Amino acid sequence: MKKEIRFVSADEAVKVVKSGDHVHLSSVASAPKILIDALCRRGRNGELRNVRIHHLHTEGPAPYADPEFDGIFFHQGFFIGANVRKSVQSGFADYIPVFLSETQKLYRCGALPCNVAMIQVCPSDKHGYVSLGTSVDATLAAIECADTVIAVINRNVPRAWGQAMIPMDLIDIFVEGDTPLEPAKFTQPNETEIAIGRYCAELIDDGACLQMGIGAIPNAVLAQLSGHKDLGIHTEMFADGVLELVNKGVITGRNKVTDKGKLVSTFLMGSQEVYDFIDDNPMVAMMDVGYTNDPCIISKNPKMTAINSAVQIDLTGQVCADSIGTKFYSGVGGQIDFVFGSSLAPEGKAIIAMPSCTSKGESKIAPVIYEGGGIVTSRAHVHWIVTEFGAVNLYGKSMQERAKLLIQIAHPSHREALDEAAYRRFGPHYHNFSI
């Protein structure tokens, strides 16, 4: 039976939030802006204290993390986006380190309370179902566990299939608002990123199943794949670069074992074209992050190929991806979920791709990780490393062999210094053997 909808204003809806509550926000492009603004109005009026804000990551403004709300809201996200990075690094906001696959478990096992879930959904269909659209991730778990669920019915939210479809009975309070979803802003790949994309593409076999994020390097990789055949998608997110390959018949999902023929993701961020593409499209399955990022499920797809990035890699292959020294920059995310899952898959490949240098010209391949830097992918998990100077496979290689291989793909201006650092670390034998 279809639930009757009674709309209230955003200001009325957020009155259910009490001081000390934990509030979950739907993520990425689908952050419920009108509810966030209403909640901040209550904060400015002095009505709330110590409300904790959780989400995977949001695009657009994040006013609740501003210093003006110190003592009122405390952001504890599962990932650090650009909109909260300054606040996190200055201590006015914080970050919960967690594998992306387990963000949903935080709610379901009770490690993290959820008093109020604030979400966005598309209008109801004739069966009384709405869709979470571009943001399933940990939001589905938050809905299941929350004391109160507030939903913005938004005509701009696409009617995505998969576990994005939920019955209206799970929602307690309805608000109407047609705020456009936040679009992603991409830059064109530069020469370095194009070279990285070319080396990554050479590692991707016909029939492979892909995971990669968004940004210049993933777009550069996808741009090199138009000659491939029967690729599949099982990922935590995808963006515009995938659409062209679908339209060309390159991405078919024909060789997938799980969800054959479908593009599987847990959240999306792209242009309006991406949001239109997933609308009422049975080819796309938007799933719970506990499914998309489960290494056991990932490993079932043959030739599973994961491409992730890094802040820094040391000469033994340790991958720092969430911080620059003691400054938290992003998060654990799904990197290890997919590195581990891909390495277990038949003919699977786990790839870490990054420029050889920072924008300041510092080598991203370093003798040691900066003090305070966090190791996301361990030296035992790492396989392929790619820079604009080539690709090397560290799997099964000793420490000294790894150092020599990594120096081969470091920027030429830093190779001599890295070689000297490796000699000091490993001793005279280091220079007496070749790989």
377-401, pLDDT tens digit by residue? 999 999 999 999 999 999 999 999 9
Strands of 148-153's sheet, edge to edge?
7-8, 173-176, 148-153, 116-121, 22-25, 51-54, 73-77, 94-95
Output the pLDDT for position 5. Answer: 80
Q: Supply angle C-alpha 128, 162, 352, rounded to 5.
A: 150
CA distance 266 to 297: 14
DSSP assignment of 1-31 equals -PPPP-EE-HHHHGGG--TT-EEEE--BTT-
State the alpha helices, DSSP H only, in 293-365: 295-298, 335-344
pLDDT at 434 over 80: no
pLDDT grade for 429, boundaries at 50, 70 and 90: confident
pLDDT at 220 over 80: yes
CA distance 370 to 313: 10
Q: What is the pLDDT of residues 98-147, one digit of tens each?
A: 999 999 999 999 999 999 999 999 999 999 999 999 999 999 999 999 99
């470091």: which residue's tokens? 410
State the alpha helices, DSSP H only, in 91-131: 103-108
pLDDT grade for 433, boundaries at 50, 70 and 90: confident
Q: What is the pLDDT of residues 326-373, one digit of tens each?
A: 999 999 999 999 999 999 999 999 999 999 999 999 999 999 999 999
The whole-number average pLDDT for the span 302-325 is: 97
CB burial class (10 A; 0-12, 13-18, 19+) of residue 170? middle
pLDDT grade for 151, boundaries at 50, 70 and 90: very high
8: phi > 0 → left, psi -120 to 50 → alpha, else beta; which? beta
Q: Which of 200, 129, 116, 114 is nearest to 165 (CA)?
A: 129
CA distance 340 to 349: 10
Tell me the pLDDT of the chain averaged across its residues: 96
Output the pLDDT for position 109. Answer: 98
Residue 249 carries which side chain, given as an amino acid letter? G
Provide, rounded to the nearest whole percent, the portion of the chain with pLDDT above 70: 99
DSSP annotation of 160 reads -
For 72-147, strand residue ranges (E) read 73-77, 94-95, 116-121, 129-131
pLDDT at 1 over 60: no
pLDDT at 86 over 70: yes
Output the pLDDT for position 186. Answer: 77
CA distance 59 to 29: 6
Q: Is the dihedral of CA 164, 148, 106, 41 positive or negative?
A: positive
pTM: 0.95
Q: Is the dihedral of CA 331, 336, 341, 342 positive or negative?
A: positive
Spatial neighbors of 4 by CB under 8 A, at least 6 apart, are none
Residue 278 tokens, joined: 């997933």
2-6, 72-76, 134-138, 411-415: least confident range: 2-6
Name the β-bridge partners of 314: 366
Active site residue 144: no
Q: Count the neighbouring beta carbons within 10 Å of the beta carbon of residue 127.
A: 10
Provide, rounded to the nearest whole percent, the portion of the chain with pLDDT above 90: 94
The whole-number average pLDDT for the span 159-176 is: 97
Q: What is the pLDDT of residues 173-203, one digit of tens each?
A: 999 999 999 998 777 899 999 999 999 999 9
Q: Find the length of the chain.
A: 435
CA distance 221 to 352: 13
Output the pLDDT for position 184. Answer: 84
pLDDT at 419 over 60: yes
Q: Identify which has the larger pLDDT, 239 or 4.
A: 239
Q: Are 266 and 136 in contact (CB under 8 A)?
A: yes
Name the catalytic one among 102, 236, 388, 420.
Answer: 236
